[in-house]
Structure formats: C-alpha cells, structure tokens
Structure 1
C-alpha cells in the first residue's frame, strides 16, 4: 500500500496532462457557477431553484467518485479524461441552447460528472506521475494551477460579460485547449493493474483522516470565504469595490502559497505540516473580528489564512501519494474529491447560518470552528501514533 521511494525520470508530458486537466476543473467550476446562475436569473428562475440546480453538480460528484477507480482500471486514465473534457465542453454549450429548465437538471449532472472525472483522475495521475522525492513540488505546481483556474473563471466573465454566446464558447474553447496536453501525454498515463483491496472510499477515510479530511475542510472554508467574505466586508463598512478587493487579496494567497507549501512538504513530516497549517489558519480566522476591516493587518491575515487553508489541499494530496499507490491511490483520490464536494455544500450553508446568528462575525467563528475540528482530529491521530 505504501508507495516506494523512486528516482525515476520525470515524464513532463504526463505531468503536463494532469495539470491541464485540473486547470479545466478550476476554470470550469469558477466560470460555470456564476454564469449559469446569471443565465437562470435572466430567464426568471427563482433563486431557490437556481441553488437546487447548482447542487446537482455536487451530487454527481458524490454519486460517481466511488466508481472511478474501476473505470480508470478498465478504460485507462487518458481516454477517460478525454471523454470527460469533451462531455464538459458539449454540456456547457448545451446549457445555452436548452430552453427547458427541467432539462438543466440532467445537463448539470452530466457537467458535474465530467468535472468529477477530471478532478479525481487528474489527482490520481499527478500523484502517480510525481517522483516521490519531489512530490510536494509537483503537487504545489498542480495546486497553483488549480487556484489560477479558479481565478480565471471570473476573469473571463469580467472580460466578455455574462450575456450571449461569448462566455459559453470561451469556456468550451478552454476545455478544448486543456485536451491538447492530455492527448499528448495520454501514453504516459498511470495504469491500475488490479482492483483495490483497501476496503473502498469510506475505509480509506478512516485509514488516512489527516489527508482526506483536509479536502473537506478546504472545500468548506474556501467556499465559505468566496461566498461570504465580500458580504462580511460590506457589513463591516466597506464599499462594494473594497469588499471585492478584500476577496481578491485573499484568493491571491491561494496562488502564492501552494508552491512554497508543496516544497516544504518534501522536507518535513506532512501530517505535522497539515497540523501546523490548521493551527495557523485557525489563528488567522480568530483574529479577523478584532482587526480593522480596512487595515493592512486584515489584508495580510486574509491573504495568509486563505492561502494556508488551500495548503491543506496541496499537502493532503501529497500525503495521499506518499501513503498509497495503484488502485488504493485512485480510491483515496476519489475519497478526497468526495469530501471536497461535501465541503462545498456544507461550508456556505454553515457560514451563512453563522452570519445570520451572529452578524457579521459569525463568518469568522464558523470558519474557525471548521479549522478547530481539523486540528483536533489531526492532533489526535498524531498523538495516537506516538
């Protein structure tokens, strides 16, 4: 089950394929969620139904992820990624030409399933392709590209707008571009020779809670920040432009810190690094209510806290690659993405509820509660293994 140390040559084309696939996930999610919400709003669909339709994408991930290790074994990682890229591009354009809102539900499921395949298979691919002595570096680059993808979606919408065909065609074109490195690197895709004997997704969550729970916390906290940090800024007296700037500064932390954290994870115990990330980001969340909303101190804390929370994803993924290989690694990556998707659902609900109960600082207290839970779990696991 443990991946052996290796000094094999780096297959750049193979690694580039996995990184291209994850860039498509980041941009695809960040572009489609606001774009499709605007489209439905313009068609007069109530916000509750918009939310339900969006949630179908997450349900697709939770439903499909456990089956992906066997699909990779049977079909191969390269062909599976190419089918997912094609499905994502076609379904994104299909939203624009489908007048019936009812049909948007199966469409959203297909689109969510395609992104799920890209997410899980690219994570398995990057972990299998990365040499063990530089795994953190490679996954740091991978995490940085994912963060850039998340930033790129809104950037495209700000450039081309949310009306008409342009944003849909830009999104589909980006999927097509991402498919080129996948096509080139497909021959170097990792293979699964036999079925996993690890007991499945839920068993692996119990075996490696520090790594897999990191995905849930990242999904919950990151989505909570994206959804509610601007609103938190407004409720503490910022104007709309400064509130948006605060979120931009926070998200720049994601882009800036993944590579340093990945490099650090190659040199230290990754579980202890995850614990350190949890403690530092918990401290940052607890500081937020006590800092002036328009101060450099708050900007710095938002930058560092958001970037270090994203580091849970990067370091957690590297820890999975060091702990598992073959079919067990694919299953562990499926667990990782499932928990991330559950976090996407739980996080905004909890943070929004917290702000309603304690306005506005419930935003920071709920984020701190998520991080405190993670710190307790990881500290407990490390203490049991002493």
Structure 2
C-alpha cells in the first residue's frame, strides 16, 4: 500500500471515531441533563456550545494548519476532545459542561477540517469525489453508531466515556505513525486580493452545499421532533423515522461520489437537489403515515446526504490547490452557522405559520440551489489556472 493510501485509510478511521464520539456524546449528555431535571430549553442551549465552538474557531483554523501541518493540527484537535471527554464525568455543573462542550467543538473543528483538507490534497481529481464520499460515509456510519453507546450507561457513568477514551487512544497511535504534511503555499502577486474574496468569487456555488447540509441536518435532528409532537406522532416513532435520512445518505454516499467523478459535480448536485427538494415538498402530504415519511426522508437523504463532501470536491475542482484550505474554512463556517440558524428559523415558522412549513423551506432552498447550478457558467466546471490572488 502506498503512503498516500495508508494516510487516506488512517484518516477514514480517525473520522469514523470522531463521528462516533459526536454521535454518542450529544444524546448522552442530553440524557444526563434530563435525568438531572434540567429543562429542555436549557438542555438545548447547552448542546449549542459544541456548534458555537466550531463556528468561532473555524475562521482561524487555516493558520495552525499552514504552520503546524495536517497531522499536528489533527492531533491538537484530538487532544482537546480527549481532555473534554475525560473531564465531563467529573463535573455536573452546567457552566462547566458548556465550556467543555465548547472545547469539544473547537477540537472537532480542528480534527475535521484538517483531515478533510488532507484527504482532498492526496486524492487525485479522478477519484476525489469517491474519496471524499468515503470520508463522509465514515463519519456518517460513526455518527449513526454512536447512540448505541447509550446502552453502556447502566453499567456506570464512566463506561461510555471510557469507551470513547480507548477509541481516542487508537486514533493517537495511528496518527503517530504517519508523516506530517503541509498545504501548498499561496503564491502572492503584485496585484493583491483578499484570499476569502477570491475563493468566494470563484467557488461561491461550491460553498452553498455545506450551508444547505448543515441546515437540513439540524432541522431534522432538532426541529422534526417538535413537528412530530404537534402533528400527533409519538417520540418512539420519531426515533425510527429520523434514521431514514441517514440510512439513505449512507447508501448512496459512495455511488454519488463515484458518479460525480465521471459526470461532474455540478451536474450530479443539480439532479440531487431537485430530487431532494421534491421529497421535502411532498413530506407534509404524508400526514401521519410514518412509512411514507420514512420513504421520503430516505429519498431526501440519498439525494442530498452527500452534499457537504460533493461541495468540497467541487471546490477543489474549480479552485487552485493552494486556496482549497480557505474554501474548507468557509464551508465549515457555513455548516456551523446553518446549524445555529436552523432551530431558530424553524421555531419562528412553526410558531407563526404551520409546522410543515419547515419542510417547504428546505425544499425551496434546494430548488433555488438547483436553479443556481443551471444558471451558472459552464466555465466553472473546469479548474481555473490563474495566479493568486486574482485580479477583479
């Protein structure tokens, strides 16, 4: 196995561990707070600390990445997550947990951003979609498996946290055996332009999917239970309906990535956005038919569940390699911002209009994105060979 493929598979395993960590820690802490009698509102605000950490640190992640390299930045993120995980069982105060979850968000952001950028760098243009889809698949599988760790809680408070610490140790061991690498250096020219402005000007279309995916994921996880209760669906059914979206995305994550390598990212995302938008528009028609709900969410998940990885691959296609880390920063900010906005926007929609309007909003957003893809110049499908920063 070549060094680059070994690096790729180690990163895949590490991100699966990170996904499992998030998939377990979010519901685990929610359950522990519920057992303490904490209100659902405060519980949700405490959980938001994770995303706040991600959003606030994201604009600064490119600095350590370029100075320390991919591996060192990943290790620093894993250290933060490990420390926070080890300290959580020692405290029960809300303020302390808020700080620790904030640190987990910072660590997760460093880990995911660096590993995504590393996978993007070592992947060839011919396999970039497939490789980034494998990355997204690994995270999705880990995140989906995470809640199973709740079954360890009856064995003792430390047991699920101890399992996570063991997995982190495996990650440290694998990372220690890898050689560090660095992003390509940005070559300055006489006529300067802010690198973020350059990336937004060239890759704006490729950066929209990260926002859309963050909004959809948080809407389904955070707002759908409220929608279900207001439309007479039990929480037991919610726990069965929601995974349909994840299952759908897992099933087509790799096939869509491979297809995008052959047909082009923009074309694949356009079709997927139309299918996902139609599925969300049809969702209110399901009424209380939970099987129809599961089918529609599975279709939507299959269509748009790989949007983040496809968008990042598209950005790598149309941007010079030295600017891809900057695009990753913007994508991470988009995802985190959407994750914070979604519960508030959906709350207003459900309070002032009908609960089902949250699905129409997601559907309309996807169809608008599809229209933008169709309207965009075909020239963005080819990598732009220009000096950086670019002239306006």
State whether TM-score is above 0.5: yes
SS at match of 1:96: helix
**Counterpart-to-counterpart distance in 2, 1:114 and 1:340:** 16
Contact map agreement 2:245 2:299 (CA 8 A) in 1: yes
Which residue does 1:177 correspond to in 2?
170
**TM-score scaled to structure 1, two decimals?**
0.88
Deviation at 1:308, TM superposition (A): 1.6
CA-atom RMSD, angstroms? 2.7
Which residue does 2:337 correspond to in 1?
342
Deviation at 1:105, TM superposition (A): 3.4
Which residue does 1:111 correspond to in 2?
104
Contact map agreement 1:27 1:151 (CA 8 A) in 2: yes
Which residue does 1:3 correspond to in 2?
none
SS at match of 2:355: coil
User: Within 5 A, what are the aligned runs for 1:345-384?
Assistant: 345-382=340-377
Which residue does 1:125 correspond to in 2?
118
Distance 1:229 1:59, change over 3 A: closer
User: Within 5 A, what are the aligned runs for 1:302-317?
Assistant: 302-317=297-312
Asked if residue 272 in structure 1 is aligned to residue 267 in structure 2, the reply is: yes
Deviation at 1:208, TM superposition (A): 1.1
**TM-score scaled to structure 2, two decimals?**
0.87
**Counterpart-to-counterpart distance in 2, 1:314 and 1:162:** 37
Contact map agreement 2:76 2:110 (CA 8 A) in 1: no
Deviation at 1:336, TM superposition (A): 1.1
User: Within 5 A, what are the aligned runs for 1:245-284?
Assistant: 245-284=240-279
User: Within 5 A, what are the aligned runs for 1:144-293?
Assistant: 144-160=137-153, 164-184=157-177, 186-187=178-179, 189-195=180-186, 199-201=194-196, 203-291=198-286, 293=288
Which residue does 2:9 correspond to in 1?
16
Deviation at 1:230, TM superposition (A): 4.3
Contact map agreement 1:275 1:378 (CA 8 A) in 2: yes
Gapped regions of structure 2 (runs ≥ 5): 382-392
Deviates more, 1:109-118 or 1:56-65: 56-65
Contact map agreement 2:186 2:322 (CA 8 A) in 1: yes
**Which digits, 9 at most, give the CA deviation of each residue in 1:96-152, with x for residues without a partner?**
213443333332222111000011101101111112111111112111111112202
Aligned length: 377
Distance 1:248 1:377, change over 3 A: same
Asked if residue 136 in structure 1 is aligned to residue 116 in structure 2, the reply is: no
Distance 1:22 1:385, change over 3 A: closer
Distance 1:384 1:334, change over 3 A: same
Asked if residue 332 in structure 1 is aligned to residue 327 in structure 2, the reply is: yes
Distance 1:348 1:24, change over 3 A: farther
Deviation at 1:161, TM superposition (A): 5.3
Asked if residue 34 in structure 1 is aligned to residue 43 in structure 2, the reply is: no
**Counterpart-to-counterpart distance in 1, 2:200 and 2:23:** 27
Asked if residue 57 in structure 1 is aligned to residue 46 in structure 2, the reply is: no
Distance 1:107 1:305, change over 3 A: same
Contact map agreement 2:237 2:290 (CA 8 A) in 1: no
Deviation at 1:316, TM superposition (A): 0.8
Runs (4 or more) in structure 1 with deviation over 6 Å come to 383-386
Distance 1:382 1:299, change over 3 A: farther
Gapped regions of structure 1 (runs ≥ 5): 1-8
Distance 1:37 1:238, change over 3 A: closer
Deviation at 1:231, TM superposition (A): 4.3
Contact map agreement 1:191 1:326 (CA 8 A) in 2: no
Deviation at 1:82, TM superposition (A): 1.5
Which residue does 2:390 correspond to in 1?
none
Distance 1:250 1:105, change over 3 A: closer
Deviates more, 1:323-332 or 1:312-321: 323-332
